[in-house]
Structure 1
Amino acid sequence: MLRKEKPVQSESVFGKRRFDGENPERHESQSVFDSVKAFFRIAVPFWKTRESGLAWVMLVGIVALSALSIYLAKQFNDWYKGFWDYMQAYNLDGFIGMLWLFGFLATVHVCAVVYRRYIISAMEIRWRRWLTTDYIRRYTENGTFYRLQLTDQKTDNPDQRISEDLSQFVSLTVTIVISILTDLSMLVTFAIVLWGLSQAVTFPVMGYEISLPDGYLLYLAIIYAAFGTVFTFIIGRPLVLLNFRQQRYEADFRFSLVRLRENAESVAIYKGELEERKRFNSLFLDVVHNYVNLIVKTKQIGYFTLGYAQLAVIFPILISAPMYFAKIITLGSIMQINSAFGKVQDSLSTLIENFTSLAAWKAVIDRLSLFEKSIRAADSLPRIVPEKSGQELSLEHVRVTKPDGTLLIPDLGFTLPPGRSLLIKGHSGC
């Protein structure tokens, strides 16, 4: 048997190996462009099938309920002004009337949100069921599950790709896509509201005349959100790769434990406990080291995003307070500005709020993309078609190579009569 040297290798009695230097692409995520192409390649097929008919109906229902939520948010924004104006004017009847209105709006809002979540969950399970069935078919037909072991080892733990990654792909896709579309709709709605609340005005502050242009509140919201988005991307960019690696290391560690149970007899007979223990410790160290890096980077981005969110609570009040004290606007107007500014800022801050989810989403897409590439590579391997003739096992002019093309045997041929046995063996890892 020929043995190819690897930069870093840890061996197992049952031959499961891990090479840190063999395929560096296993550790790296794809470019954003490649991930986008992979997303459409994975997501689109289901929506072209007959089984997607009910899912399309559910999707329309989700869009309709999302639109209702946006409309209710606009009504709540108007409610803030009326409620606080009645409070400022000591109008008890108006105050009670606004409480009844709030109860009605809140009831409709709760029903819309709960039912939308229900429909989303129902649609997710239909999509996941179809994807899982499709991947299981592709993984098991034509011996692909076996032939994957003969390819370049890029796909680790196919069981996790099918059971866990497909589930995360569906849930993250639905959550993030709906969130982005809702935020865009909310942005348009409340950008109009915020523009209407920020007409050009001039007022005195500490002996100076301050002049503000039309739409100044909208401009400030855009600047504030753009600042936060840029810094979040700079600080949080490494999270994408760290999430990708964490999923892989966790899966490698879990799979090694399962393999020990499956090969318990072989390990016990060959006294391989020490080697297996070394392997477990090595794999778990990968989990720990990457997780430490992940939580450190999450802590850094958490400081910024939480501070950014806290400042967003008071920022619109600070910029509208001078006009209130100049008696240009009422307390109700401040509350309305605060609500509208918050909606616009939240909509513009989609990347900030969902950065961790986006990083996990991209990692899942990259893992599924590598899985698909490995399935295609397994299908492309040449197949020997045996011919049944007589009782002997006969090989003639067989050329044996590794999957990377390395020649092992140029011209193999032998005949094995009935009743005879043949054992092919080699060192673990060869």
Structure 2
Amino acid sequence: MFVSFFPKPKLFFMSFVFWSAVAMAFWYLAGRDLGAVFGMPPAAADAEPVVGASYFWTPEFLWFYIYFVVAVGLFAGFWFLRSPHPWQYWSILGSALILFSTYFSVQVSVAINNWRRPFFDAVQNALTTPGSVEAAELYRLILIFTQIAFLWIAVYVATRFFVSHYIFRWRTAMNDYYMSHWTRLRHIEGASQRIQEDTMRFAQTVEGLGVSMVDAVMTLIAFLPILYGLSSQVTELPLVGEIPAPLVWAAIFWSLFGTVLLAVVGIKLPGLEFRNQRVEAAYRKELVYGEDFEDRAQPLTVRELFANVRKNYFRLYFHYMYFNVARSFYIQADNIFGYLILIPTIAAGKITFGVLQQILTAFSQVSSSFQYLVNAWPTIVELLSIHKRLKSFEAVLKGEDLPDIDRRYLDREASGIPPQDQPA
């Protein structure tokens, strides 16, 4: 799954995490200030946030772009020399480009959050004191938002086009790798489907989850300091009272609560999704045999196989029912949780409408990042199912024991047990 696309996957990903940590640590300890040597100093600590699209080409941002390219170049150069790989440009440089696009998207959220305070404060002033704000000022602020949005749209469309090709290249790498070992893999149940369909789904799902995880980490890095600074304007929390950095602690508590809740209620889903693929493959395989052989796909056989499909789907529906109940309740509560913890502050009239919007946005960004597992759990369940199916290929190629369900299938095939009696 990974060796076909990445050079020495275990070592590669370990080195990626290590190098990312080193690059980030150096940036915040010294690299950010090093830009001043080249005429691109960071903004002063007490400087007003830049509002508008110019936020993305301030001297500090220009210096970061250079720093990122250098860091990626050093990492890629090391792997190009140490372990050349036929897909290295897509797997290494392509991944770096997706990483940068994710970072840019997070910064768009920061830029919009900077825009919220002046815009909503202007709205509040206009509604409170008629004539105090010119219509031209509101139009100007709307135009600023439009510039940021159009810039994001351009980057998003280009990124999705690139990601589509990235995913198909990964699928191609897996397809070529598995087909080169087809004589050893063809006996695995549903081998053709696993190569034709699961490789694409695996690449697509891993890319999506990986980008979401990186986005969550980058959002935390960008918005935690903002949320911490805004916490100074919140006097207390309901039931808790006054505590340091109340907004940060509230986001952490709420996110952990949701993560633990959904992990517990959804613990059975990965195994059921895998079994669902298994019974569907057995049913489909018998129908395919029936196209070529008159003695296959007989009514009794097909009825038995479809009964297995029906049984597993009904079990899956039941377990998804209570999982969706818990998830839906949590998501709906999440919509009002930010307002709930701000009620004492709002009632005391200690913040403006613009500050309220900034707090809600920053709190939502931070809590959503902490809720990565909550938001991604259905996708993770699907990925675990796909991984289990492709893991059988890995076991064959490495000379390891097959998973129990595949081993039982091969044993029964070898003993001549009819398909309808195969284990569900």
TM-score (norm 1): 0.70
1:57 to 66, 77, 93: 93
- Relative to structure 1, the CA distance from residue 256 to residue 204 in structure 2 (aligned partners, 3 Å threshold; closer, same or farther) is closer
2:177 to 126, 129, 134: 134
Residues of 2 paired with 1:365 and 1:321: CA distance?
46
1:84 to 120, 130, 133: 120
Question: Aligned pair 1:223/2:253, yes or no?
Answer: yes
Aligned-residue offset at 1:340: 0.7
Structure whose CA Rg is larger: 1
2:287 to 253, 257, 276: 257
Residues of 1 paired with 2:241 and 2:284: CA distance?
64
More strand as a share of residues: 1
Structure 1 stretches lacking a partner, 5+ long: 1-38, 149-154, 380-402, 409-425
Aligned-residue offset at 1:428: 7.0
Aligned-residue offset at 1:305: 1.6
Residues 256 and 280 of structure 1 are in contact (CA less than 8 Å); yes or no, is this contact kept in structure 2? yes
Residues 247 and 363 of structure 2 are in contact (CA less than 8 Å); yes or no, is this contact kept in structure 1? yes
Q: Relative contact order: is structure 1 or structure 2 higher (C-alpha 8 Å, sep ≥ 6)?
A: 1
Question: Aligned pair 1:164/2:200, yes or no?
Answer: no
Over aligned residues, Cα RMSD in angstroms? 2.8
Residues 197 and 337 of structure 1 are in contact (CA less than 8 Å); yes or no, is this contact kept in structure 2? yes
- Relative to structure 1, the CA distance from residue 281 to residue 246 in structure 2 (aligned partners, 3 Å threshold; closer, same or farther) is same
Residues 240 and 363 of structure 1 are in contact (CA less than 8 Å); yes or no, is this contact kept in structure 2? yes
Residues of 2 paired with 1:378 and 1:219: CA distance?
46
Q: Which amino acid aligns with 1:59?
A: S
Residues 187 and 347 of structure 1 are in contact (CA less than 8 Å); yes or no, is this contact kept in structure 2? yes
Structure-to-structure mapping, 1:395-410, within 5 angstroms? none
Q: Which residue of 1 aligns with 2:307?
A: 285
Which portions of structure 1, spanning 4 or more consecutive aligned residues, are displaced by more than 3 angstroms? 39-48, 200-205, 374-379, 426-429
- Relative to structure 1, the CA distance from residue 195 to residue 203 in structure 2 (aligned partners, 3 Å threshold; closer, same or farther) is closer
Residues of 1 paired with 2:224 and 2:305: CA distance?
51
1:191 to 206, 224, 227: 224
Residues of 1 paired with 2:151 and 2:383: CA distance?
32
Q: Which residue of 1 aligns with 2:61?
A: none
Structure-to-structure mapping, 1:236-315, within 5 angstroms? 236-264=266-294, 267=295, 276-315=298-337
TM-score (norm 2): 0.71
My pick for the range that moved more, 211-220 or 244-253, is: 211-220
Residues of 2 paired with 1:200 and 1:79: CA distance?
19
My pick for the range that moved more, 195-204 or 367-376, is: 195-204
Question: Aligned pair 1:97/2:140, yes or no?
Answer: yes
Q: How many residues align?
A: 327
Q: Which residue of 2 aligns with 1:320?
A: 342
Residues of 2 paired with 1:239 and 1:288: CA distance?
16
Q: Which residue of 1 aligns with 2:109?
A: 73
Residues of 2 paired with 1:45 and 1:170: CA distance?
16
Identity of aligned residues (%): 25
